[in-house]
Structure 1
């Protein structure tokens, strides 16, 4: 019986999505169908109470603030300044300015919260510069697509906030836990770029000009706004001065200050950033409300418990379970965006994860890493769409040259499994 109920609801989900219904409304619709047909609970009352309860969560207030912060910075010269500050230091590295993609995305990821925003903001500035200097499109686009995903892993991260709300895990702990894995992944991307450059030295142009140490230091002043903002947001969380929500408010004030100092803050950009952030948050919020109602509906029907019992009955080792979930999420990522993946699956998976005594903070970072992979898997990889719009290249071309980055993310998943301290050390240190 349970199998037929599950199959029916999955079919209903894909039928509604296939008809072009918004994801949030689809989730609410499937939850309504499930409760109306398979339980005797009052559907309307349950829906209203669940949506109100999930929408009035204080933890959730960090989400629109971080989104707005990213939108403000998207409209400033911050990324252009980062390129000016970084490029003089990269002349001696194999691959030279290609590393500006990776380091630029790493820095911008720490003041944004969105993978697509990181990819678009850095790409708008680095791709024309790299092309002008003679770097091949293939490696420029590949490194940018991979490094753009760091917007999800390096805090503040929209996906981490969504996971933290759903799993009832401290968002501050998730933010701190994401820093080391983010740096490790950026290091893997840079290592690959160096290897590529060593094997393709004829394709890497000579440096424009060599600067003395003092000139390099002078150029580094362009990095001050970004570094100051990162220190203010993450430092306030790390030292315990502010919660994630308070740090988000600090980030908004800081990004407005940066925009004002750079002369990019006008009434027009203020309104544009506010409206764009509101639109994006409303879309995410509707998905979250629908997911909360679907989770409640599935709970009443008893599906999460049955799925958890079935997975536990398979007697999978933790490694086999993580491997199976990796494949499952990567396949799911071919059809859904990251936030939808998290909200659709967490209600079902979390009881199993807890039953297997897997740390929920570690699992959150694992999920974010897998969602990063989904950003660069066709046909629904958001970063691929962003880059296609920017470069007018075929999506197959972009996906092909991004594949090495995808494999490096697989390596990162194996690393955090076999060396869990990569995730756990900083949060434990913070507690201490």
Structure 2
């Protein structure tokens, strides 16, 4: 047992040292895994690494990943970002906070299109921040609401991170998508609720109300969003209803996105090639990391680390809430230095056996983990959304971080609510199954 503890510490230390040296995450994973097997086992390392990489590279659930990414890249190049502000703005004038809610609702819609936090924050930010600034809204809340809401791209389906977790944990991607709906809506309500409370207590910092827009004009502006919303509803609804698998739904989504882009006049040879190349680059990066993570999983299995950790959890007799709290703090610290997918692949081989041994449902844990990873998007020094907003606003990273702090606390509250009321995650998959 002590020898396995030492091996685990050596592997973890090697991971940190190699990552700190600037080596790619994927190459780090496979190097540590191969080195550990060579030093601590008698298995044929080269043939095992080669076969594992091959087997992991054609996982069927993984086929949905490049298609959903491509769908988002196509729609990213349409008029969606311009139509979103015009379509949502006139309906929000009655709410305290008014057009600041466009950040939250816009990110919710974009999250269902892109499945990526950085793309969501970038697209909505480039559209909303100039408009909000021009109207005189508080800059701090503008930046904070966008930073927090941008993280919705990780949890609202079709989420790339949920697909990755489903592959790593061998859980149904469709169930994970279904399970992410209510938590995603809950986070949107928390963000909007904070904006409402802030606006009520800071009425002097709010700009004057804009002229009321007639109902007919509101409907006309909103109609531009209906094709996109219809495509999202079709893609997600076809999965929930069981008509299609996630991969089939993603393929239909790509066809629908191409049709919408053609009808709106934004589909050109250049935009088609750009969307395809961007999706290919992102998909290859994620698939490479996942394949190398599979090698690390094989390595820790041969060494006996999962059985050791499961036995350790059983021997310590930790209550699930204490294990969950410990893992939460661990992931928050990791989130200060790594982005979401890297956190998943680095920790899954070690953490998932511990979670299973504690009797925690893996579907619920996947959603909970994604909420914790959302926090990583707005924690310095390596918070992707912070960098995105720094580039858009031109403000320094410290100012962006301070503006995002209330939304980090709201994500903490969201994670606490999921732990306190697990049915927020489990109820909808139970109803739909």
Shared fold (TM-score, shorter chain, > 0.5): yes
- SS of the residue corresponding to residue 159 of structure 1 reads helix
Identify the residue that residue 8 of structure 1 maps to in structure 2.
10
Unaligned runs of 5+ in 2: none
Identify the residue that residue 296 of structure 2 maps to in structure 1.
294
Identify the residue that residue 137 of structure 1 maps to in structure 2.
139
Cα deviation, residue 328, structure 1: 0.7
- Looking at structure 1, the residues matched to 314 and 79 of structure 2 have their Cα atoms a distance apart, in angstroms, of 52
- Looking at structure 1, the residues matched to 388 and 375 of structure 2 have their Cα atoms a distance apart, in angstroms, of 15
| 1:379-390 matched pairs, under 5 angstroms | 379-390=381-392
- Aligned: 1:74 with 2:76: yes
Identify the residue that residue 322 of structure 1 maps to in structure 2.
324
Cα deviation, residue 425, structure 1: 1.3
Q: Contact 1:119–1:386 (CA<8 Å) still a contact in 2?
A: yes
Identify the residue that residue 236 of structure 1 maps to in structure 2.
238
Runs ≥4 residues deviating over 4 A: none
Worse-superposed segment, 226-235 or 348-357: 348-357
- Looking at structure 2, the residues matched to 54 and 411 of structure 1 have their Cα atoms a distance apart, in angstroms, of 36
Cα deviation, residue 117, structure 1: 0.6
- Looking at structure 1, the residues matched to 426 and 13 of structure 2 have their Cα atoms a distance apart, in angstroms, of 39
TM-score of the superposed pair, with normalisation by structure 2 = 0.98
> Residues 157-208 of structure 1, C-alpha deviation per residue, up to 9 Å, x if partnerless?
0000001011111100100110000000000000000011111111111233
Number of residues paired by the alignment?
431
Identify the residue that residue 404 of structure 1 maps to in structure 2.
406
| 1:117-196 matched pairs, under 5 angstroms | 117-196=119-198
- Looking at structure 2, the residues matched to 158 and 28 of structure 1 have their Cα atoms a distance apart, in angstroms, of 22
- SS of the residue corresponding to residue 173 of structure 1 reads helix
- Aligned: 1:88 with 2:90: yes
Q: 1:37 aligns with which of 36, 39, 52?
A: 39
Unaligned runs of 5+ in 1: none
- SS of the residue corresponding to residue 12 of structure 2 reads helix
Identify the residue that residue 254 of structure 2 maps to in structure 1.
252
- Looking at structure 1, the residues matched to 115 and 206 of structure 2 have their Cα atoms a distance apart, in angstroms, of 32
Q: Contact 2:309–2:353 (CA<8 Å) still a contact in 1?
A: no
Identify the residue that residue 100 of structure 1 maps to in structure 2.
102
- Looking at structure 1, the residues matched to 309 and 172 of structure 2 have their Cα atoms a distance apart, in angstroms, of 26
Identify the residue that residue 378 of structure 1 maps to in structure 2.
380
Cα deviation, residue 343, structure 1: 1.0
> Residues 89-130 of structure 1, C-alpha deviation per residue, up to 9 Å, x if partnerless?
011100000000000001111121101111101111001111
- Looking at structure 1, the residues matched to 359 and 245 of structure 2 have their Cα atoms a distance apart, in angstroms, of 27
C-alpha RMSD of matched pairs (Å): 1.1
- SS of the residue corresponding to residue 231 of structure 2 reads helix
> Residues 389-418 of structure 1, C-alpha deviation per residue, up to 9 Å, x if partnerless?
111111111111111111111111111111
- Looking at structure 2, the residues matched to 255 and 127 of structure 1 have their Cα atoms a distance apart, in angstroms, of 26
Q: Contact 2:313–2:357 (CA<8 Å) still a contact in 1?
A: no
> Residues 309-349 of structure 1, C-alpha deviation per residue, up to 9 Å, x if partnerless?
22332221111111111111000101111001111111112
- SS of the residue corresponding to residue 163 of structure 2 reads helix
Q: Contact 1:111–1:229 (CA<8 Å) still a contact in 2?
A: no
- Aligned: 1:422 with 2:418: no
Q: Contact 1:232–1:250 (CA<8 Å) still a contact in 2?
A: no
Cα deviation, residue 225, structure 1: 2.0
- Aligned: 1:52 with 2:54: yes
- Looking at structure 1, the residues matched to 309 and 333 of structure 2 have their Cα atoms a distance apart, in angstroms, of 19
Cα deviation, residue 138, structure 1: 0.8
Q: Contact 1:305–1:348 (CA<8 Å) still a contact in 2?
A: no
| 1:324-403 matched pairs, under 5 angstroms | 324-403=326-405
Cα deviation, residue 215, structure 1: 2.2
Q: 1:213 aligns with which of 191, 212, 215?
A: 215
- Looking at structure 1, the residues matched to 360 and 13 of structure 2 have their Cα atoms a distance apart, in angstroms, of 31
- SS of the residue corresponding to residue 263 of structure 1 reads coil
Worse-superposed segment, 196-205 or 207-216: 207-216
Identify the residue that residue 28 of structure 2 maps to in structure 1.
26
Q: Contact 1:308–1:349 (CA<8 Å) still a contact in 2?
A: no
Q: Contact 1:63–1:158 (CA<8 Å) still a contact in 2?
A: yes
TM-score of the superposed pair, with normalisation by structure 1 = 0.98
- Looking at structure 1, the residues matched to 156 and 102 of structure 2 have their Cα atoms a distance apart, in angstroms, of 17
Q: Contact 1:110–1:156 (CA<8 Å) still a contact in 2?
A: yes
